[in-house]
Structure 1
Amino acid sequence: MTNAQLASIQWGLFLSVVFLLPQLLFRQLTWRGATITVYASMLFAATFLPMQTVPPRQAVQLVPFQWIADTFRDGQIAFDQMTLNVLLFVPLGAMLMFWGRRTVGQAALIGYGVSLLIEGSQLLWANRIFDVDDLITNTTGTALGWLGALAAVKVYARVKTVAVPQRSLASVR
């Protein structure tokens, strides 16, 4: 993990506390609200912080799956970055499945929209690269999060229905 990624995590945790405190003080804190607040803070920090002061050499990367060539050229860093992009959007997919009652297609479309909003904002305000690979991996992460949440629900339902039968007192006598 790079120093910039560690700094982003620290900023995300700081922002989470800053935004959770008022909810806690005014007794408006719920699990759903806390989850969304922490996720949104971490997402913002990972995609915008720390702000780049120097514009990148390349502003837009429109070649799909360029990260594969970058991995061969730059090594593990490009692969790790794409993996982190997928993982960053897994919670969004899970939240959309659990709370949004969305289909996997709707969740992927929402993930794509959020990713497009982030990429456009990064290009305009954060001196970062607009990368089509980020759109692909973020959308994939959202869909995988939705599918993972569905699998968890199905496993939980199966475990719950396969309960150990209890013997009655009448059968003991």
Structure 2
Amino acid sequence: MTNAQLASIQWGIFLSVVFLAPQLLFRQLTFRGATVTIYASMLFAATFLPMQTEPPRQAVQPVPFQWVADTVRDGQIAFDQMTLNVLLFVPLGAMLMCWGRLTAGRAALTGGGVSLLIEGSQLLWANRIFDVDDLITNTTGTALGWLGALAAVKVLARVTTTTAAQPPRSLAGVR
């Protein structure tokens, strides 16, 4: 783990504590509020805090699927970065499915909008880059999170229904 990744995690935890402490003090903490606060803090830390030591070659990367060529050129690190971008937005998709009651399309649009907001604001940072691939991977992560949450809800509903439909077992004859 690099120092930038470690700093990102530490700042995410710090920001989560800073924003959750007042909620705890005033007894207004809910599971949703805590989840959203922790996710937003980690999202902020992962997208803004790990600064590169050298400036990027360009401020905007407009070529879709450039990560494929980057993986061929730079090796595993470009693929890992793409995968982590997808995983970063999976919780957003799950939250939108469970709590937002949005359709898959609207959840993907919301994820794309959040990603566009992040990428657009990164234009203002000296060592950050606006990357079209990030928009694609983040939107994909949101959609996958929505689908994963839907699958989990369906499986849980099926297990609950199956368990509730079975008659209680009799203990007669058991010694």
TM range (shorter): over 0.9
153, 160, 165: which one pairs with 2:167? 165
Asked if structure 2 preserves the Cα contact closer than 8 Å seen for 1:51 and 1:126, the reply is no
Identity %: 87
Could you tell me which runs of 5 or more consecutive residues in structure 2 were left unpaired when the two chains were aligned: none
Alignment of 1:79-118 (within 5 A): 79-118=79-118
Asked if structure 2 preserves the Cα contact closer than 8 Å seen for 1:67 and 1:78, the reply is yes
Alignment of 1:14-163 (within 5 A): 14-51=14-51, 55-125=55-125, 127-163=127-163
Deviation at 1:126, TM superposition (A): 5.2
The Cα offsets for residues 52-109 of structure 1, whole Å up to 9 and x where unpaired, read as: 5864221000111110111111111101101100000000000000000000000000
Asked if structure 2 preserves the Cα contact closer than 8 Å seen for 1:16 and 1:37, the reply is yes
Query: Residues of 2 paired with 1:58 and 1:103: CA distance?
Result: 36
- Is the counterpart of residue 6 in structure 1 residue 19 in structure 2? no
The Cα offsets for residues 30-73 of structure 1, whole Å up to 9 and x where unpaired, read as: 00000000000000000000345864221000111110111111
Could you tell me which runs of 5 or more consecutive residues in structure 1 were left unpaired when the two chains were aligned: none
Stretch deviating more after TM superposition (159-168 or 99-108): 159-168
TM value normalised by structure 2: 0.92
Asked if structure 1 preserves the Cα contact closer than 8 Å seen for 2:4 and 2:51, the reply is no
User: Kindly tell me: are residues 126 and 17 of structure 1, through their superposed partners in 2, closer, same or farther at Cα, counting changes over 3 Å?
Assistant: farther
Query: Residues of 2 paired with 1:54 and 1:2: CA distance?
Result: 15
Deviation at 1:137, TM superposition (A): 0.2
Give the residue type in structure 1 aligned to 2:92: L
CA RMSD of aligned residues (A): 1.7
Asked if structure 2 preserves the Cα contact closer than 8 Å seen for 1:48 and 1:126, the reply is no
Asked if structure 2 preserves the Cα contact closer than 8 Å seen for 1:93 and 1:146, the reply is yes
Query: Residues of 2 paired with 1:74 and 1:55: CA distance?
Result: 17
Asked if structure 1 preserves the Cα contact closer than 8 Å seen for 2:122 and 2:129, the reply is yes
Query: Residues of 2 paired with 1:3 and 1:131: CA distance?
Result: 23
User: Kindly tell me: are residues 31 and 126 of structure 1, through their superposed partners in 2, closer, same or farther at Cα, counting changes over 3 Å?
Assistant: farther
Query: Residues of 2 paired with 1:14 and 1:55: CA distance?
Result: 27
TM value normalised by structure 1: 0.93
